[in-house]
Amino acid sequence: MKKAFNPFSLNTYVSKELFCDREEELKTLCSGCQNGINMTLISHRRMGKTGLIYRFFDEIDSQKKKDMPITLYVDIYATQNLKEFTQQCAEVIFKKLSNKNGLGKRFLKVLKGMHAVFSYNTLTGEPKLSFEYQEPAAYEYSLQTLFQFLESQKTPVIVAIDEFQQVSAYPEKNTEALLRTMIQFMQNVNFIFSGSNRRLMSEIFSNAARPFFSSTQFLFLDTIPTASYQSFIIEKFAEQKRTISAEAVDFILSWTFAHTYYVQAVCNRIFAENITKIDLTATKQICYEILKTQEPIFMQYRNLLTPAQWELLKAIAKEKQVTQPTSGKFTKKYGFTASNVQRILPVLLEKEMALAMPTVTETTYRVYNCFMGHWLAEL
Ligand SMILES: Nc1ncnc2c1ncn2[C@@H]1O[C@H](COP(=O)(O)OP(=O)(O)OP(=O)(O)O)[C@@H](O)[C@H]1O
Ligand SMILES: [Mg+2]
């Protein structure tokens, strides 16, 4: 039997057609790059930062015009130090330019000059690059060489560095200063720094004592507007000859707090059920099944938290959202004291078990993983 194509991606960006909205954010990124403004893209985990960068780059790459910017996506999540950062940048440039004849050759020359060693990933067959220098300063020099190469291109270059907060964990404490120095005079290269750890990202870009202070424009990625997501979901089901009721879609968006990954996950699962007419009852049943399937994972978290942390997370889950967690109303109801909450809540935030949504007047908290939140609420 031919498998129906599931239009709700759970992994990486697939195509413009399967990507919902983000038109305003795309305009902001576009205008930033056209005006030489480096940007900092921040959102909660799984809200769609990486997807947005891919979507933006796809828009650029698919225009087969001459002189379009060269787009480079560098994910530094797995890098541990400046050496790996440099290797990752070199690898991305190498892969991008390898099919561009003249440019590819020129970059190879640069790499040879840097004594790069080539190998292949035995599992994926992807090319790998490494540098082995005795002197730590040589890594700084090679990164500079890479950036200079990009700066000297005839076409503009856009570099997106995803999971940028990772640099603050490098043993080379001067990495931010080093990058800032290299980047600030670049005219041909625009940077997008993306990350989900709000505390670390804000520290890097808004602390007056840090090198990147006030050097970029912030773009905070919120949930996709409900109306857009509603029509997207209905349309994607309809394209595959299925119907989903408006109340089922409303339920999905409110049950998931419209958090992108969770919306996609529910829709993906509903689609996989092969139902042609999806109503609210079927939707609720599938949501319940998702919680059941993930139960073993949720239970493991219990071992990672102290009993008090677990109880506070459960209390937040039962309330769905909490705006005044130290108020008597909340603490009395769940048997905490205000000082307990003041001590435990920051740990839950740091562990990304709870999530804070600040507004000008107040901060609301909820369980980060909304599936886990619903599961905990029933305990
Ligand atoms: N606008 C969108 N339309 C449809 N699906 C999207 C959209 N944005 C993101 N997604 C999907 O949502 C999921 C999470 O997105 P993504 O990985 O981009 O989030 P992220 O913010 O980079 O997360 P993390 O902080 O964990 O890296 C992915 O499955 C992605 O394909
Ligand atoms: Mg990401």
Identify whether residues 58 and 190 lie together within a single domain.
Answer: yes
* Per-residue pLDDT, 2: 59
Atom of ligand 1 nearest to the CA of 221: 21
Q: Domain ends where: 178, 201, 220?
A: 220
Q: Domain ends where: 284, 300, 316?
A: 300
Q: Which has the closest alpha carbon to 130: 145, 113, 111?
A: 111
Q: Domain ends where: 202, 220, 238?
A: 220
Please check whether residue 5 lies inside any domain of the structure: no
Other CB atoms within 10 Å distance of the CB of residue 281: 10
* Per-residue pLDDT, 153: 94
As a whole number of angstroms, the longest Cα–Cα distance in the chain is 70
Identify whether residues 229 and 202 lie together within a single domain.
Answer: no
| Mean pLDDT calculated for residue range 119-128 | 83
Strands (E), 89-240: 117-120, 127-130, 157-162, 189-195, 217-220
Q: How many angstroms separate the CA atoms of 346 and 341, rounded?
A: 9
Q: Is 195 in the pocket of ligand 1 (CB under 6 A)?
A: no
* Per-residue pLDDT, 159: 98
**Looking at the 3D structure of the chain, how many domains does it have?**
3
Q: How many angstroms separate the CA atoms of 82 and 94, rounded?
A: 18
Of the two residues 139 and 96, the one the predictor is more confident about is: 96
* Per-residue pLDDT, 1: 53
Identify whether residues 357 and 243 lie together within a single domain.
Answer: no
Identify whether residues 190 and 247 lie together within a single domain.
Answer: no
Please check whether residue 129 lies inside any domain of the structure: yes
Identify whether residues 58 and 170 lie together within a single domain.
Answer: yes
Q: Is 336 in the pocket of ligand 1 (CB under 6 A)?
A: no
**Single-letter amino acid code for the residue at 149:** F
The CATH number assigned to the domain holding 293 equals: 1.10.8.60
pLDDT above 90 covers a percentage of the chain that reads 79
Q: What is the pTM of this model?
A: 0.94
Range of the domain at 244: 225-300
Identify whether residues 242 and 216 lie together within a single domain.
Answer: no
Q: How many angstroms separate the CA atoms of 148 and 86, rounded?
A: 13
Structure tokens, 269: 């699962």
Identify whether residues 329 and 294 lie together within a single domain.
Answer: no
Please tell me the distance between residue 48's alpha carbon and the centre of ligand 1 in angstroms. 3
Identify whether residues 256 and 341 lie together within a single domain.
Answer: no
Please check whether residue 41 lies inside any domain of the structure: yes
Please check whether residue 294 lies inside any domain of the structure: yes
Identify whether residues 234 and 193 lie together within a single domain.
Answer: no
* Per-residue pLDDT, 262: 98
Identify whether residues 203 and 75 lie together within a single domain.
Answer: yes
Atom of ligand 1 nearest to the CA of 260: 12
Please check whether residue 11 lies inside any domain of the structure: no
The CATH number assigned to the domain holding 86 equals: 3.40.50.300
The CATH number assigned to the domain holding 377 equals: 1.10.10.10
Ligand 2 (ion): residues with CB under 5 Å are 49-50
Q: Is 261 in the pocket of ligand 1 (CB under 6 A)?
A: yes
Please check whether residue 40 lies inside any domain of the structure: yes
Task: Please report the DSSP string for 40-109 in residue order.
Answer: EEE-STTSSHHHHHHHHHHHHHT---TTPPEEEEEE-TT--SHHHHHHHHHHHHHHHHTTSHHHHHHHHH
pLDDT band at residue 173 using 50, 70 and 90 as cut-offs: confident
